Amino acid sequence: FRARFDAFLTILKSRAYNGKTAARIIVLSPVSNENVPGVTAADRNNANIAIYAAAMKEIAAKHKLAFADLYQATATAMADSSTDLTSNGTQLNEAGQRHFANSLYRVLFEETAPPVNEKIRALVNEKAFQFFHRYRPLNTFYYTGGRNKSYGYLDFLPAMRNFDLMVANRNKAIWSAARGKTAEIDDSNLPPLDETAQSRGANEWLSPEDELAAFQVDPRFEVNCFASEEDFPEIACPIQMRWDGQGRLWVSCSTTYPHLYPGQKPNDKLVILEDTDWDGKADKSTVFADNLEVPLSFALGNGGVYVSEEPHLVFLQDTDGDDRADRRRIVLTGFGCEDSHHALHDFVWTPDGDLLFRESIFHNSQVETAYGPVRA
């Protein structure tokens, strides 16, 4: 690690990422881990984290770089049994992120952080959203992988160009707001994306009545339409469905597939359909969660729903009983994004209570856990 980290810093110092001058580099240590129910992450990992943090401090000093020891800055709070700063002992939750931000400010500037400027914070979050879809876009195999030539030339690469421009536009607004000036985001410099021709032509969708008429059914059975997007537009483009213990049908739907384009916001849904009068047709629809992004698969359990949102596995929970998710937690992240319909799918519970899932062809995952990284 010492040799590789030393070489890594040497490479960073040699680059001029703005095309003019070398970057200013601040080395941050890992944060501490904490023990949580079922996972003794602090006992397992903190001794090693301390050794790595000390090595990073030593090598940063060799390169005359600033170093922020966030392990020491978070260790005391993490060791306090009354605190809850992580979701699984390693990944920071919202309270942990807040503590981390204040600790980082205090270590770097040797003073308490000032009150948060909410307008700047909103702009930073908006920039982070756009940057994430440039840095970890779905379908990367079509941008930089083996299908770059056969498919990527369509509108995938121009979309990445526009994400770059949107990130730059938001960065300008952030600096303007920080200087106390007008901070409106201006995306007028975005070139329009070229229209792409579909060689296979338009799909001809049948009505539910025509679909039923086309069925060939054994005379001992009867088939009826339980739900249609004609009656429930929110179930357009369904991907997966599961029945719950109350006889309700849960359906994940994605109009975002195959991925977000510049200027779009996630709008995919997890919908609950109910047949309240037991006539074999759904008559009630509840959107359990929206603003999802290609929810390829899901599984009910532990008082909520586990949902695939590559590169994340998230847990959605309704804490007030209104059948609307009001809590979202990223359980694990780092799953592959190479092809959005090969991502986390086929969720199955084992009799032992393990949640199994699959990834498909040419996906590469590097997932941080309390037990170390898992690569696949």
> Taking all residues of the chain, what is their mean pLDDT, rounded to a whole number?
93
In contact, 102 and 224? CB cutoff 8 Å: no
In a domain, 320, yes or no: yes
Q: Mean per-residue pLDDT for 29-51?
A: 94
**Per DSSP, what are the bridge partners of residue 312?**
309, 333
122 and 68: one domain?
Answer: no
| Same domain as 249, residue 352 | yes
Residue 333 belongs to what H/E stretch? strand 327-333
Q: What angle do CA 362, 366, 371 make, to 5 degrees?
A: 140
93 and 135 both lie in a single domain: no
DSSP H helices in the chain: 2-14, 41-62, 70-79, 94-109, 118-135, 156-178, 208-214
Residues 79 and 138 in one domain: no
Peptide bond between residue 258 and the one before it cis (omega within 30 degrees of 0): yes
User: What DSSP string describes 189-220?
Assistant: TPPPPPP---TT----PPPHHHHHHH----TT
Does the pLDDT at position 199 exceed 80? no
Both 264 and 137 in one domain: the answer is no
Mean pLDDT over 242-269 rounds to: 95
Residue 338: how many other CB atoms lie within 10 Å: 24
Q: pLDDT tens digits for 109-136?
A: 999 999 999 999 999 999 999 999 999 9
Last residue of a domain, one of 92, 109, 126: 109
Decide if 313 contacts 305 (C-beta within 8 A): no
| Pair 365, 311 in one domain | yes
Please give the pLDDT value at position 194: 79
Q: Is residue 47 part of a domain?
A: yes
pLDDT for residue 198 is more than 70:
no
Is 196 contained in some domain?
no
- 74 residue type, one letter: T
Residue 128 shares a structural domain with residue 99:
no
Contacts of 176 (CB under 8 A, 6+ apart): 182, 183
Whole-angstrom Cα distance, residue 143 to residue 261? 13
CATH, residue 50: 3.40.50.1110
Residue 302 dihedral angles phi and psi, to the nearest 5°: 55, 35
What domain range is 74 assigned to? 2-109
Reported as a single tens digit per residue, the pLDDT across 164-174 is 999 999 999 99
Q: Is residue 211 part of a domain?
A: no
With a cut of 60, say whether residue 153 has pLDDT above it: no
**Is the domain of 11 the same as that of 123?**
no
* Gap between the Cα atoms of 226 and 233, Å rounded: 14
Helix (H) or strand (E) holding 317: strand 312-317
Mean of the pLDDT values across residues 328-341? 93
Task: Give me 245's structure tokens.
Answer: 């213990």
| Per-residue model confidence (pLDDT) at position 302 | 95
pLDDT category of residue 35 using cuts at 50, 70 and 90: very high
Q: Is the pLDDT of residue 186 over 80?
A: yes
Residues 228 and 369 in one domain: yes
Same domain, 300 and 243: yes
pLDDT greater than 90 at residue 372: no
Does one domain contain both 146 and 58? no
Which of 189-203, 228-242, 250-264 is least confident?
Answer: 189-203
pLDDT (average), residues 222-249: 96
Q: Which two tokens stand for residue 321?
A: 């009983």
Inside any domain, residue 102: yes
Total number of domains constituting the chain: 3
Q: For position 154, what pLDDT does the model report?
A: 65
**In the predicted model, is pLDDT for residue 16 greater than 70?**
yes
Average pLDDT over residues 320-329: 96
Same domain, 339 and 291: yes
Give the pairing type, strands 26-28 and 66-68: parallel
